[in-house]
Amino acid sequence: MRTGLRWRIIIVAVVIILALIQLYYTFAYYSLSEERKITMSPNELSNMKSKALKLGLDLQGGMNIILEVDKSKLTPEESRGSVERAIEIIRNRIDQFGVSEPQVEKLGSDRISIKLPGVVDRQRAKELIGKTAQLEFRILGDYTQFQEIISKYDEKMMETEEENEIISVDRLSIMIDYNGFNLFVYPENYSAVEGIVNSDEFIALLPPGLTVLWGREKEKEGIKTKDIYYIEDEAVLKGNAILDARAGTGTQNNPMGVKVDLVMTRQARGKWASITGSNVGKRIAFVLDGKVISAPVVNERIPSGNTQITLGGSSTINDAKDLSIILKAGALPAPVKIVEERSVGPSLGSDSIENGIRSIILGMILILIFMGIYYSISGMIANFALVLNLIILLAILSLFKATLTLPGIAGIVLIIGTAVDANVLIFERIREEMSYGKTIRTAISSGYSKAFTTILDANVTTFIIAIILYWFGTGPIKGFAITLGIGLVVSFFTAIVVTRVIFDIITLNKDVKKIRI
């Protein structure tokens, strides 16, 4: 066997194996019954879902909302970054709504596209997204006191269990960890801890004027956690006190340290000086819509209103930029209005999936029959490449976490036709070369060489169109463009490489003088 052929066989085999492994998660996840999902651990289910092919709104149901930010009453300074600040507010709201894998992105200069998969309560979603943001400054409670409350709760629960002869291991003190600066919780304990801190038994132990709030989920080295805060109920200052917030580097103790510089309004400077002066050494939390965004330590009284927030640990400049957007978001005066709303019910999504799959299967069956009859053995080789084309395409879509939409299914159907067209060109060239009396190996080599340029030109021009559609399109158009672009690359690989490898393997046998084509 020639060395070149051996390497091509290895490459094709590796691609097929990797594609099947990647696609396994998609079939495994979507074949899970509801009963099985309940018995699986949250991490196991989440891991499988993250590797599976994602379905768009038109296939799984949900909401698609287009918002417009009204900048008409903003000054030029306030207008800058107003859409980005609105996006941050909306993302924070959606996190609280509990939507899985939402998409919030800027659309044009003043619009925001929001996709909420699986959401059926339209009115609640609209109210949540459209309400005014509330950014507050709150003082954190004493850490030692909070630890004592946690211990008292565990002791009380143990006494109750002993009285009722109940054995339990759900101790709050075990589920909450401490990293030397913040109390935090791992994902597997989120629900249990939240249930406890919201229970009447736990709330009864809290002193008047103090409560418990969560921070945003953070991820470091692949490990997710949420901080939990013991904090005062009342805000000492509101978000409209912030005039500006800018990310930067260079702190008092570290020239490369990451920071956010705050500028307070003239009206808020005196109050801010009083707040910081009476809370030196304590922590003041920035709370957006009931969630703690950051909780820096007050190092000194700040009379000027110019405040520096130092981000410690492994924080990056992007973290500082995110925080600056969030802090400015609380003072955003621009209202948003819904200019477009589209909802897809789960039943319609199921019908779309069934019809889409049916169209793919029917199209493939008709093509497989035609190729098998018209091109005989060569047609069966093309059919194998066609099936492989579909497998690799879906595997790549799931690998790069692309979202499959109804237009995307249309793109797959189109790709099936494109892949067959390439094989037809090659086979007709091979037939032509064989009619000149060339040997089968020479005819195959010449056929592929002469068809290559035509196939490449056709794929490149269509690929350019796919890029243009993706660049200028939105929503479903992008889904179609992504599927079309990836499909073209895959169909080129299966038509030029895979089928050629099979032909070369067949013609290794010197007794093969001709092949039915």
**pLDDT tens string 285-309:** 988 778 888 888 888 888 888 888 7
- Tens digit of each residue's pLDDT (9 = 90 or more) over 193-204: 898 999 898 999
pTM, two decimal places: 0.56
What's the mean pLDDT when you consider all of the chain?
A: 81
Burial 36-51 (b: 16+ CB within 10 A, else e): eeeeeeeeebeebbeb
Residues 6 or more apart from 207 whose CB is under 8 A from it?
A: 145
Q: How many angstroms separate the CA atoms of 348 and 13, rounded?
A: 39
Q: Which of 104, 72, 103, 71 is nearest to 87 (CA)?
A: 104
CB 323 within 8 A of CB 248: no
Whether residue 17 is predicted with pLDDT greater than 90 in this model: the reply is yes
Q: Which two tokens stand for residue 34?
A: 């509801």
Please give the pLDDT value at position 421. 84
Q: 3-38+345-506 belongs to which homologous superfamily?
A: Multidrug efflux transporter AcrB transmembrane domain (1.20.1640.10)
At 96, the pLDDT band (50, 70, 90 cuts) reads: low
* DSSP symbol at 207: P
Domain boundaries, given as residue ranges, for the chain: 3-38+345-506, 59-133+337-342
Number of other CB atoms surrounding residue 417 within 10 Å: 11
State the pLDDT at residue 344. 65
Q: Say how far apart CA 430 and CA 442 lie, in whole Å.
A: 9
End-to-end CA distance of the chain: 24
Residue in 500, 493, 489, 514 with CA at minimum distance from that of residue 381? 500
Note the pLDDT tens digit of each residue in 209-236: 999 999 888 877 778 889 999 999 999 9
What six digits make up the tokens of 358?
Answer: 């049916």
Residue 432, both tokens = 């032509």
**CATH class of domain segment(s) 59-133+337-342:** alpha beta
Which phi and psi angles does 21 have, rounded to 5°? -65, -45
Phi and psi angles of residue 198, each rounded to the nearest 5 degrees, phi first: -95, 0
pLDDT tier, 331 (very low <50, low <70, confident <90, very high otherwise) = very low
Instruction: Read off the pLDDT of each residue in 136-159 and give the average, rounded to a whole number.
Output: 89
- Residues in Cβ contact with 467 at an 8 Å cutoff, skipping those fewer than 6 apart: 481, 485
Q: Is 263 helix (H, G, I), strand (E, B) or coil?
A: strand
Gap between the Cα atoms of 515 and 444, Å rounded:
10
349-358, 383-392, 426-435: which range is least confident on average? 349-358
Task: Collect all residues with Cβ–Cβ distance below 8 Å to 504 and sequence separation of at least 6.
Answer: 5, 8, 444
Q: Taking the CB of residue 469, how many other CB atoms lie within 10 A of it?
A: 19
- Please tell me if the domain spanning 3-38+345-506 has the same topology as the one spanning 59-133+337-342: no
